[in-house]
Amino acid sequence: MDWTPPATGGARGRTALLLADDLFFTMWDTTHAGLPYLHPSRATLGLAGALIGELVLRDRLTVEGEHLRVIDTRRVHENVADGALASIMASPRHTAVRTWLEYLAKNAVKNVTGRLIAARLLTREKPTLLGRERFRYTQFTKAMWPSTRLRLDLDERAPMTVQDMLLAALVDACDLMRVVIEDPADRPAAAAYLTALLKERMPQPLKDLVGGVRAVVGDSVLTYR
Amino acid sequence: MRTTPSTSHSSRHDPIAGALAADRLNARAIIFFTMSAAAPLTVVAGLVPTAYAVTGSTVLPAAFLIMGVVLAAFSTGYVAMARHMPSAGALYTYISRGLGRPAGVGAAWVALIAYNCMQTGLYGAVGSALTPMLYRWFGISPPWWLIALAAWALVAVLGVMRVGVNSRVLAILLVAEVTAILVLDVTDLFHPAADMAVEMLSPAVALTSPGLGPSLMIAAVGFVGFESAATFSEESREPGRTVPRATYATVAIIAGLYALSAWAMAVAIGPGAIVETARRDGARTIFVLAAGHWSSLMVDIVQVLFVTGLVAAKVAFHGATARYAFALGRERLLPAAFGRTRPRSGAPLVGSIAQSVLGLAVIVTYAVAGLDPLVDLFYFVGTAGGFGVLLLIFVTSIAVIYYFARHAHGQDLRQRLIRLTPAAMAAGALATIMWLISSNFAALLGVPQDHWLVTFVPQLYVTVAALGVQYGVFLRWLQPNMYARIGMGAKAALPSTPLN
């Protein structure tokens, strides 16, 4: 496809929540089932990628190849991100992105939903005896906005903020783009646009992070037991 | 630098390693995973009598022992190399690293055919095994292909839904299967038809027998799955110790259990009569034997275990082959669509559907052609698959030697020679075994020397391997990025390419 990606900007992206919150609303069916659209093991890895992404976007971490490095030790004044940063700083011998994705995935749902519940954007239904924990939106437009925004931007080939590019890339890494772009006929063009956009505009540390998420999500398919 | 938490020692002082270690597997768990897919009762009740019937040879028990020793020697180099692999995946990843990526592509494609042969072959076993049981229990005798199609539908749906058989259920089934096998073996040994025929366990006797090549091939089919222990490397608590322990234990258990069972069966029937009896009774052989000493309830229980084991093996094999196609899709050695999953379940969707389509085509073809499900499908196609896997193990044994010849990993020449000696002996033994099998392929399949199958199977693998190597060379010139990621599996998405 012969075209030049537009400059980053992204009017719609300026209304974004935190990255992991946006990813949660994209991954979870908070209107009906209250469950993730994808297998829970992969949903948690995607959220962990978003939590690391939040720290990269705020210039606390950088990702170089398969490893991450702390570049600024100051807090970001948000509990979940500060908790993740504190853990990473406390264990300097662990630098593999994979290790941190697996570690942060353990509490990713609890941390991200806790943050959304505190912000009054989400409610948690108590699990029934054999059922799973379900989450419901409290404000429909806010819950729908991340996936709607991605769909509009990808369909219209609109400029995107770096955070929204990362959001789209994480959705794709979790193999969830078909939930965002519902019409199969629109998917090839959207995928081509996203590929070109990421290649041209995505900062290298974020590209490396997405590669790490894609690999660990893929491995979770291979090592299924 | 690898920072994957690995040792229990460090986990005591390291909260990150400690938290992640809780989810990791110990050797016993890995043995259970590899053995469950190996389906011991399927081998003992299905493969062993069919092997006696088709080859007409009685060296099968010794062949299991010989193969066990050779594969244990092979494993010394194999598990040592696994420690240095960025992605300890299937055998082709070792071949990529040891012999170069073009060889890896050829191996990947050969493996795809081999594993698909083995998984479609199992439909023949399901069909033929259930037919007499349904008659006995319900008085109905549907054609084998109808039963195979029912199993096919179940496997196809479970595959797409990614409903694996729960690992606890698998473990219980496995323990029950092994217990049943041991009980029947002991019963057989206490009721010999003539003498104990201990010469059947003697490798020295087997080495001079003309039936050795085909019997070794069949023994190798029984071992398929042992190589998968190394793929749990990243998920194991202490990869350096857990994986070798699990691999050697799996080889030892398989060799011991199958050699004992094949021998016990022959002792109870009589070495002179085992071939004729197996030809007459087929997969019912061990149940006919059991009925002579045990109540019908016990025979029913073993038959139920045989069926549940077969279905569990079918589901496991389907999932494993679909995931294999997924890894190749991620590396783009198959179309990228194979690297996609079904969101909700995370099932490797295209790989799963492709296998189901292939399984359906094979069942329908065999049904229309009126071929025998046990011999023509389970045995021929399964053995053809096993031949492919053995070929891969042989090439991997050479890849291991090449790899350690080029990478010292801080060891001096003497240490490297000590490490490589068993691996080299295994490679030599595997070369001899491949030659024995190839020169006796007609006897292995139980067909005349001029039968088209005798040349078709080896030629198919050689042709596919050659095409794979050519494709690999083509990628080196035209798609260097893709080329660099061959053998990485799902890690093909990683930013760096640690293969060299």
pLDDT in tens, A142-170: 999 999 999 999 999 999 999 999 999 99
CA-closest candidate to residue B6, choices A102, A156, A117, A190: A102
Residue predicted with more confidence, B482 or B60: B60
Compute the average pLDDT of residues B308-326: 85
**Could you tell me which residues are beta bridge partners of residue B250?**
none
Cβ atoms within 10 A of the Cβ of B194, count? 11
The reported pLDDT for the residue numbered B499 is 36
Cβ contacts of A91 on chain B, cutoff 8 Å: 14-16
Least confident of A158-167, B26-35, B371-380: B26-35
Q: What are A121-138's pLDDT values in tens digits?
A: 999 988 776 678 899 999
Cβ contacts of A29 on chain B, cutoff 8 Å: none
Cβ contacts of B167 on chain A, cutoff 8 Å: 225
Cβ contacts of B162 on chain A, cutoff 8 Å: 39, 224
The reported pLDDT for the residue numbered B62 is 96
The Cα A169–Cα B374 span in angstroms is 49
The reported pLDDT for the residue numbered B497 is 44
The reported pLDDT for the residue numbered B87 is 66
- For residue B219, what are the domain limits? 44-493
Beta strands A122-125 and A134-137: pairing type? Answer: antiparallel
Residue predicted with more confidence, A70 or B167: A70
In angstroms, the separation between the Cα of residue A12 and the nearest Cα of chain B is 26
B402 part of a folded domain: yes
B30 part of a folded domain: no
Q: What are A82-95's pLDDT values in tens digits?
A: 999 999 999 999 99
Mean pLDDT score across all residues of chain A: 89
Q: What are B113-162's pLDDT values in tens digits?
A: 999 999 899 999 888 888 888 888 899 999 999 999 999 999 898 888 76
B433 part of a folded domain: yes
Cβ contacts of A37 on chain B, cutoff 8 Å: 343-344
Choose, out of A195, A222, A223, the residue to mutate when testing the contact with B (most B CBs < 10 Å): A222
For residue B236, give both structure tokens: 């194991």
* pLDDT of A114 higher than 50: yes
Q: Do A66 and B340 touch (CB under 8 A)?
A: no
Chains A and B: how many Cβ contacts under 8 Å?
A: 110
B23 part of a folded domain: no
Q: Do B231 and A223 touch (CB under 8 A)?
A: yes
Q: Do A66 and B232 touch (CB under 8 A)?
A: no
Residues 6+ apart with CB under 8 A from A60: A70, A71, A72, A73, A74, A76, A81, A85
Which of B4, B17, B323 lies closest to A222 in CB terms? B323
Percentage of residues in chain A with pLDDT exceeding 90?
Answer: 69
pTM: 0.85
Phi-psi region of A56 (alpha: psi -120 to 50; beta: other; left: phi over 0): alpha
CATH of the domain at B329: 1.20.1740.10
The Cα A157–Cα B330 span in angstroms is 26
Cα–Cα distances (Å) from A102 to A23, B5, B17, B22, B218, in that order, read 17, 11, 11, 12, 41
Those of residues 169-188 in A touching chain B at CB distance below 8 A are 173, 175-176, 178-179
The reported pLDDT for the residue numbered B7 is 43
Beta strands A67-70 and A61-64: pairing type? Answer: antiparallel
Which residues of B lie inside 8 Å of A (Cβ-Cβ)? 1-5, 14-17, 19-20, 33, 89, 162, 164, 167, 231-232, 234-235, 319, 323, 326-327, 330, 339-341, 343-346, 348, 489-496
Site of tokens 């697996």: A102
The answer to whether B257 touches B181, Cβ cutoff 8 Å, is yes
The answer to whether A102 touches A72, Cβ cutoff 8 Å, is no
The reported pLDDT for the residue numbered B344 is 76
What is the C-alpha radius of gyration for chain A, rounded to an integer number of angstroms?
Answer: 17
The reported pLDDT for the residue numbered B414 is 83
Mean pLDDT score across all residues of chain B: 87
Q: What are B319-348's pLDDT values in tens digits?
A: 888 888 888 888 888 898 898 888 777 788
Q: Do B491 and A218 touch (CB under 8 A)?
A: yes
* DSSP-assigned letters across all residues of B461-477: HHHHHHHHHHHHHHHHH
* pLDDT of B393 higher than 90: yes
The reported pLDDT for the residue numbered B12 is 54
Collapsing DSSP to helix, strand or coil, A123 comes out as strand
Residues 6+ apart with CB under 8 A from B158: B164, B315, B318
Q: Show the domains of chain A with their CATH numbers.
A: 12-216 (1.10.3630.10)
CA-closest candidate to residue B259, choices B215, B290, B224, B229: B215
The reported pLDDT for the residue numbered B3 is 41
Residue predicted with more confidence, B421 or B312: B421
* pLDDT of B181 higher than 80: yes
Q: Do A220 and B492 touch (CB under 8 A)?
A: no
Percentage of residues in chain B with pLDDT exceeding 70?
Answer: 95
Collapsing DSSP to helix, strand or coil, A124 comes out as strand
Residues 6+ apart with CB under 8 A from B232: A223, B25, B30, B33, B242, B243, B246
Q: How many structural domains are present in chain B?
A: 1
Cβ contacts of B492 on chain A, cutoff 8 Å: 215, 218
CA-closest candidate to residue B385, choices B191, B218, B231, B257: B218
Percentage of residues in chain B with pLDDT exceeding 90?
Answer: 44
Compute the average pLDDT of residues B258-267: 96
**Could you tell me which residues are beta bridge partners of residue A137?**
A122
Site of tokens 């890895």: A45
> At residue A202, what are phi and psi to the nearest 5 degrees?
-80, 130
| pLDDT-derived band at B496, boundaries 50, 70, 90 | low
Choose, out of A110, A177, A221, the residue to mutate when testing the contact with B (most B CBs < 10 Å): A221
Cβ contacts of B326 on chain A, cutoff 8 Å: 218, 221-222
Q: Which amino acid is at B197?
A: A
B7 part of a folded domain: no
| pLDDT-derived band at B163, boundaries 50, 70, 90 | low
Site of tokens 């003697």: B202
Q: Do A94 and B5 touch (CB under 8 A)?
A: yes
B29 part of a folded domain: no
B236 part of a folded domain: yes
Query: Looking at residue A125, what DSSP letter applies?
Result: E
The reported pLDDT for the residue numbered A120 is 93
The Cα B381–Cα B118 span in angstroms is 7
B140 part of a folded domain: yes
Site of tokens 């099968």: B60
A32 and B CB contact within 8 Å? no
The Cα B491–Cα B75 span in angstroms is 24
Residue predicted with more confidence, B274 or A4: B274
For residue B400, give both structure tokens: 């291991």
A221 and B CB contact within 8 Å? yes
The answer to whether A53 touches A206, Cβ cutoff 8 Å, is yes
Residues 6+ apart with CB under 8 A from A85: A55, A60, A61, A70, A73, A75, A76
The length of chain A is: 225
Q: What are B410-441's pLDDT values in tens digits?
A: 788 888 888 889 999 999 999 999 999 988 88
Cβ contacts of A218 on chain B, cutoff 8 Å: 326-327, 330, 339, 489-493
